[in-house]
């Protein structure tokens, strides 16, 4: 794999290192820092001419810094004559503004897609996009992986019986249905109303949860409002236990405080698509690594092998 190079921005150096461990490679030597006024400064210290380069950078918080860093790294690689540049974006930020649902609002997911393509990205590798249709915002190949396999392996080890998979809103029904099918469980759906970016309300619950071990599945936990409302509704309808499997732990604003207060939530399982800062670590938050999944996808893309079996 001497033609394969893995470069990391500063968003998630630990994940880049774990991916490299999987691939038995070292992270490419590159300086990614700042000029004194804050502009991003990048210098690739290895020859990348003609190489197949993968840049690991989730566009998590601080999203503007991390996105701009990714664009600057891609520009440096393009000007250094890399043969192919793949932006590996385990968490694709700015994705929730994916349509004009009110007058005079932007579609930031499309804007970010345009920026990445203009910078010089030749393909995108990402995990659990907020909406699958975002793939179509790009005119370059997008390999969209799912964390379902990683979660499934974890929950299978718990050997839970009488499981019901719960979608905390209509947007996550497809994801919840896939989980329910994979583990042979029932499905329940919560009718959620969003009152503001921080506040949601669970209106109704469809499905049978009485006496069951519920697993809430979602793509993002941001402020935790949706999750806490869902836990409340499940307990009200007498679920025996409540756990959550959420791909991206954005965990912003009051999220950790809400998790701490919500003792009915037995466990919140997230992936390492976003680094979990020390002050967000919590005994009921479990982090599963995406490194083997992303590493295997990178290996297959590099060798022009099919990645479709990783989509299951
Ligand atoms: C919404 O459509 C998403 O799937 C998540 O449910 C939402 O982003 C979570 O946000 P919060 O944690 O702030 O309720």
pLDDT value for 265: 98
Pocket perturbation via mutation, ligand 1, pick of 95, 166, 221 by most ligand atoms within 8 A of CB = 221
CATH 3.40.50.2020, applies to 4-145+292-311: yes
Q: What is the pTM of this model?
A: 0.96
123-152: pLDDT as tens digits: 999 999 999 999 999 999 999 999 999 999
* Coil vs helix vs strand at 194: strand
Exposure on the CB side of residue 220, measured as CA atoms within 13 A: 17
User: Which stretches of 48-125 are DSSP H helices?
Assistant: 63-79, 108-119
Q: Quote the CA–CA distance of 128 and 294 in Å, as a whole number.
A: 12
Which one is catalytic: 100, 192, 236, 281? 192
Q: Which atom of ligand 1 is nearest to the CA of 198?
A: 13
- In this structure, which residue's CA is closest to atom 3 in ligand 1? 220
pLDDT value for 309: 79
Q: Quote the CA–CA distance of 88 and 54 in Å, as a whole number.
A: 6
Q: Quote the CA–CA distance of 200 and 230 in Å, as a whole number.
A: 10
Backbone angles phi, psi at 67, to 5 degrees: -65, -45
Q: Residues spanned by CATH 3.40.50.2020 within the chain?
A: 4-145+292-311, 148-288
CATH 3.40.50.2020, applies to 148-288: yes
Q: Which atom of ligand 1 is nearest to the CA of 200?
A: 14
- The DSSP letter of residue 52 is E
Pocket perturbation via mutation, ligand 1, pick of 190, 202, 222 by most ligand atoms within 8 A of CB = 222
263-304: pLDDT as tens digits: 999 999 999 999 999 999 999 999 999 999 999 999 999 999
- In this structure, which residue's CA is closest to atom 10 in ligand 1? 222
Block residue for tokens 């210290």:
45
pLDDT value for 198: 73
pLDDT value for 197: 76
163-183: pLDDT as tens digits: 999 999 988 999 999 999 999
> Has 236 been annotated as catalytic?
no
276 touches 287 (CB < 8 A): yes
Residue 38: left (phi > 0), alpha (psi -120 to 50), or beta? Answer: left
Ligand 1: centre distance to CA 171 (Å): 9
Ligand 1: centre distance to CA 37 (Å): 35
Q: Which atom of ligand 1 is nearest to the CA of 221?
A: 12
Question: Residue 4 forms beta bridges with which residues?
Answer: 52
Pocket perturbation via mutation, ligand 1, pick of 95, 191, 218 by most ligand atoms within 8 A of CB = 218
Q: Which atom of ligand 1 is nearest to the CA of 222?
A: 12
* Coil vs helix vs strand at 236: helix
pLDDT value for 312: 65
Question: Residue 287 forms beta bridges with which residues?
Answer: 270
143 in contact with ligand 1, CB cutoff 6 A: no
State which residues of the chain have pLDDT below 50.
Answer: none
């Amino acid at each position: 794999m001497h033609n394969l190079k893995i470069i990391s921005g500063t968003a998630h150096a630990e994940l880049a290192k774990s991916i490299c461990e999987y691939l038995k490679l070292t992270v490419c030597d590159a300086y990614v820092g700042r000029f004194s006024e804050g502009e991003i400064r990048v210098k690739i210290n290895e020859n990348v001419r003609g190489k197949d380069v993968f840049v690991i950078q989730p566009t998590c918080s601080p999203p503007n810094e991390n996105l701009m860093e990714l664009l600057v790294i891609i520009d440096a690689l393009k000007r250094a004559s890399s043969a192919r540049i793949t932006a590996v974006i385990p968490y694709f930020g700015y994705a929730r503004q994916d349509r004009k649902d009110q007058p005079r609002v932007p579609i930031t997911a499309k804007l970010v897609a345009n920026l990445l393509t203009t910078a010089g990205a030749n393909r995108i590798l990402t995990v659990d996009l907020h909406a699958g249709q975002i793939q179509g915002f790009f005119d370059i190949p997008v390999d969209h992986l799912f964390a379902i396999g990683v979660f499934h392996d974890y929950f299978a080890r718990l050997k839970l019986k009488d499981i019901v998979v719960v979608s905390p809103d209509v947007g996550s029904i497809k994801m919840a249905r896939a989980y329910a099918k994979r583990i042979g469980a029932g499905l329940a759906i919560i009718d959620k109303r969003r009152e503001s970016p921080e506040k949601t309300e669970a209106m109704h619950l469809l499905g049978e949860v009485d006496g069951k071990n519920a697993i809430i599945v979602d793509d993002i936990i941001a402020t935790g409002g949706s999750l806490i409302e869902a836990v409340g509704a499940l307990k009200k309808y007498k679920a025996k236990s409540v756990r959550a499997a959420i791909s991206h732990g954005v965990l912003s604003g009051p999220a950790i405080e809400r998790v701490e207060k919500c003792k009915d939530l037995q466990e919140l399982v997230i992936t390492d698509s976003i680094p979990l800062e020390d002050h967000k670590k919590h005994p009921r938050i479990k982090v599963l690594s995406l490194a083997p999944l992303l590493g295997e996808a990178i290996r297959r893309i590099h060798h022009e092998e099919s990645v479709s079996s990783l989509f299951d």
